[in-house]
Amino acid sequence: MADSKEDPAVFTSTCLPSDPRLLATVTNAYLGTRVYRDILHVNGVYNGAAGDTHRADIPSPLHVRMIVPDGGDMPVETFTLNTRTGTFSHKLQSPSYTATHQIYAHHSLVHLMAFSITIRRSAGTSQPITVQLHAPFVPKSQDLDLQQGPDFHGAHYIYGQTLVPEVEGGPQPTVHMLWTPVPQAVTLHEEEQEQCWEFLTAVAESEEEAKRSYTEGLAHVAAGSLHSSHTHAWAALWRGCCVDLEGPMPLRQAVYGCLYYLLSAIPPQDTSGFRFHGISPGGLSNGTQGEDYWGHVFWDQDTWMFPNILLFYPKAARAILEYRIGTLEGALLNAQEQGYKGAKFPWESAATGREVCPEEIYGAQEIHITGDVLMAFEQYYYTTQDHKLFRMDGGWELVRAVAQYWCSRMVWSEVEQCYHIRGTSEWKDLSLEHTLGVLQSEVSPSSSPPPGVMPPDEYHHQVDNSAYTNAVAQRSLNFAASIARDFLIPVPEEWVECAKKLKVPFDAERKYHPEYDGYSPGEPVKQADVVLLGFPLMHPMHPEVRRNDLMMYEPATELSGPAMTWSMFAVGWLELKEMERAQGQLNKCFNNITEPFKIWVENLDGSGAVNFLTGMGGFLQVILFGYTGFRITKTSLRFDPAFPSDVRKLEVTGVSYLGSKLKFSITKEEMRIGVTKCPLHPALEVVLEESGRRFPLHEGATSTRVNSMH
């Protein structure tokens, strides 16, 4: 779909950004680093107690740079991130030779990172060619007690345990690392035309796995297949997940960049052997102490990144949910400490599920995270019908615990005759009497006042009845009751009653949703909040109300706020088919994309997280859920395309739904759906909403001009 010869998936520059935080990242689900950085990180390996816990810094043997020679035959220097192959390269090109330095985190062999130096002689030259290497590696870490072990197959070996557990008695993993020693220079001798030197780094939490991975890497090196096996894995990943469009090159580049950085973070389809520990806002390349939220996992993962991953790779989405199941015990303790039942997921999560936010107010009050987690489970269930996750692998226990938490967090208002989720320090106008007259202790919290509520808009705290928080709590309870019925489990009456009678603030005169009780129209808002009711919550409302919410909060929202905000305004306007407004909001996102490697910054001034996967996730949702109109419901995958005039065609390949794989090709005139895999019997069928006509979808079949799918 190229508009020119330029490849939208390849980012090339003759210089590096002046801010090293904006360098390209090379990561897989287990290991990650920024290029030319002296540390790397391992998924799930944290050091420090409670609010001090952060990704453990591990010294990186990949911190190597080719030195540009002084004077004489000065080479031309280029730096390239190829998102198709998951490879960063630095090239020196002179009349007599080309030297290429490639760096990558192996996508299928996730315990391996590697780099290579290749020198190729130009025709007509014969003298030796030497490339100097700058390799300032020091095997020390502020976070691990590192010790040197015996060399292994020519590799150096260090290992060490993290110094401080997250909680008393919590995990203190040991990291084992093997790496190929790096010389000060490499030389292509006069009789050689081309030579490649390959350097391996293997990292694991056991000596056995580190040595096994290093040995496997050596076998690939001997076979000449190390890099090709990595690029083949990336090619397979892109075959199963491709989004391309006929439109402006910056838009196409942004899509490829966002997909690359997000896909870099997910587990490969056929890889096991390590426990996945989720995705933080800055990814594995970031998260050292004091930076990029210290590598903690937020709602960013479940709300902003997860829907895109689920749409293409349900197995990877399942791994994200398994991370939340694995931290359920910590979430149960979080709720218990605040005097509530069930599970309260932490605002910032690391290895245990206990709250690790350095600032107490956020950890105590941003309780919407618990509903955000469960919404990801709901989307997964409706997309996959994976009963095993819920019946056998801990999903139901999590669903039930979240429902219990929300019920215990509510109080009954005699004045308004509905349930409130209070955030103020007083309980005025409230009664603990349950309308059913039973199970009072199940519905009401302890006698201490609520610890406060902060909505997604972090400019406000201790609010009563945050519209978003209450709406996501209501959705949690409705889903819990629905899945219980599916599994023939008795539904607690309080779940139904609390969901039905929970207040979601609404101004009937102005026909919009106040952000919370007492919100004044025009009051500044930090980020997307009420607009999330329309999407992703799909809270029932008339289109007029949806439009009023967008109109009310768009001018009130800080332009300098977090990067994902404007994507949700764009989705809202696309939903209402107001293309110019949608385009205006989407254009704001480009202000957060930096050159040359399309790294996102969280805020316009460069503060906050870098490689901001949250912003990328929101941007991709504009394309995948805004332009296509995809909506995942209990009974169908719905779609209602709408995209601006400068986009002529959109192709989305690899959409997963109930085990089928689909390809959507959309223009302003028609939509075609191709089925590349359809194991269902009976097969999926497309339903035209207006006429009710049905078209069965079989493998290889194509439908046109369609509106919804069951």
Active site residues: 458
Tokens 């309260």, residue located:
344
Residue 175: which H helix or E strand, with range?
strand 174-179
660 contact partners, CB below 8 Å, separation of at least 6: 675, 677, 678, 679, 680, 683, 684, 697
Report how far residue 60's alpha carbon sits from residue 489's, in angstroms, rounded to the nearest whole number. Answer: 51
| Alpha-carbon gap, residue 606 to 627, rounded angstroms | 28
SS3 percent helix, strand, coil of the chain, rounded to 5, is: 30, 25, 45
Name the helix (H) or strand (E) containing 702: strand 702-704
Lookup result for tokens 């420090």: 48
Tokens of 698: 């079989």
| DSSP summary character for residue 20 | G
Amino acid at 193: Q
Measured CA distances, 447 to 45, 271, 338, 411, 431 (Å) = 38, 49, 11, 11, 12
- Token pair in block for residue 425: 């320090």
130 phi, psi to nearest 5 deg: -115, 135
What is the Cα gyration radius of the chain? 26
On the CB side of 457, CA atoms within 13 Å amount to: 24
Instruction: Write out the two tokens for 67.
Output: 């030195």
At residue 297, the 3 state secondary structure works out as strand
- Strand order across the 637-638 sheet: 631-632, 637-638, 708-709, 685-687, 694-696
User: Token digits for 620?
Assistant: 């991709």
In 366-457, DSSP assigns E strands to: 411-413, 418-420
d(CA 23, CA 81): 10
Give phi and psi for 194, each to the nearest 5. Answer: -155, 145
How far is Cα 494 from Cα 473, in angstroms, rounded to an integer? 13
Of 293, 296, 351, the C-alpha closest to 44 is: 351
In the chain the first and final C-alpha atoms are separated, in Å, by: 30
